[in-house]
């Protein structure tokens, strides 16, 4: 009986640590992917204002204008292509942070690794709100 108890104890220890390690990782994954087609959170007017301000302060306007294509697509066209939804806000904000290419043409968009996800989401909220105007 003793001989069995020791390996059993070890196995339980290992399982315990595996559990402890996978739990936070699983949490991160759900935060990142969030492909839930849930109803979009209501657009907060404050986020639109802040997003617009953040865009002005960053380098975005060197390549984007609201109504005309420059290096990147016009923001009005982006808003037409992507209806405002939680999934699209996540998608576009991660493209702004990580860079993207192939959706609008051959020219890629540079990554913006210094942006926080929260700020990028506000920028996207502003851009997608253009559709309503
Ligand atoms: C160096 C030029 C450049 C800068 C600076 C730039 N973009 Fe872009 N952006 C592009 C190009 C080019 C594309 C099209 C990429 C593609 O075809 O997938 C694009 C695409 C986008 C899209 C649409 C992505 C898609 O997949 O449909 C959004 C939204 C966007 N940019 C927002 C921003 C924001 C916000 C900033 C500032 C933080 C920014 N861009 C800065 C060139 C730029």
Ligand 1, pocket-test mutation among 66, 72, 78, 116, most atoms within 8 A of CB: 72
Ligand 1 atom, smallest distance to 123 CA: 35
The pLDDT of residue 23 is 47
pLDDT of residue 2: 56
Q: What is the pLDDT of residue 13?
A: 42
Give the position, in ligand 1's atom list, of the atom nearest the Cα of 115.
38
Which one, of 91, 47, 92, 90, lies nearest residue 73 by Cα? 92
What is the model's pTM?
0.76
Cβ atoms of 126 and 55 closer than 8 Å: yes
Return the pLDDT at 111.
97
For domain 45-132, say whether CATH 1.10.760.10 is its number: yes
Please give the chain's pLDDT, 133 residues, in tens: 556 555 555 444 445 544 444 444 444 444 455 555 556 668 889 999 999 999 999 999 999 999 999 999 999 999 999 999 999 999 999 999 999 999 999 999 999 999 999 999 999 999 999 985 5
For 104, the enclosing helix (H) or strand (E) is none
CA of 56 to the centre of ligand 1 (A): 14
pLDDT of the residue at 83:
95
Cα distance between residue 121 and residue 92, in whole Å? 8
Which pair of structure tokens corresponds to residue 96? 């702004």
Do residues 94 and 129 lie in contact, with contact meaning Cβ atoms separated by under 8 Å? Answer: no
Alpha-carbon distance 81 to 34, whole Å?
20
What pLDDT score does 120 carry? 98
Angle between helix 117-129 and helix 45-57 axes, rounded to 10 deg: 110
Task: Pick the residue whose CA is nearest to atom 6 on ligand 1.
Answer: 60
Residue spans per domain, the chain: 1-33, 45-132
Ligand 1 neighbours by CB, cut-off 6 Å: 55, 58-60, 62-64, 71-73, 78, 92, 95-96, 100-105, 107-110, 112, 123-124, 127
């Amino acid at each position: 009986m003793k001989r069995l108890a020791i390996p059993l104890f070890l196995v339980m220890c290992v399982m315990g640590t595996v559990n402890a390690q996978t739990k936070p990782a699983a949490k991160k994954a759900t935060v990142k992917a969030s492909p839930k087609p849930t109803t979009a959170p209501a657009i907060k007017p404050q986020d639109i204002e802040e997003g617009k301000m953040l865009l002005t302060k960053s380098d975005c306007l060197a390549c984007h204008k609201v109504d005309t294509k420059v290096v990147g697509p016009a923001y009005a066209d982006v808003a037409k292509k992507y209806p405002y939804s939680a999934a699209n806000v996540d998608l576009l904000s991660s493209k702004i942070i990580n860079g993207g290419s192939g959706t609008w043409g051959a020219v890629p968009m540079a990554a913006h690794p210094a942006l926080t996800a929260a700020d990028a989401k506000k920028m996207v909220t502003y851009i997608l709100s253009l559709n309503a105007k």
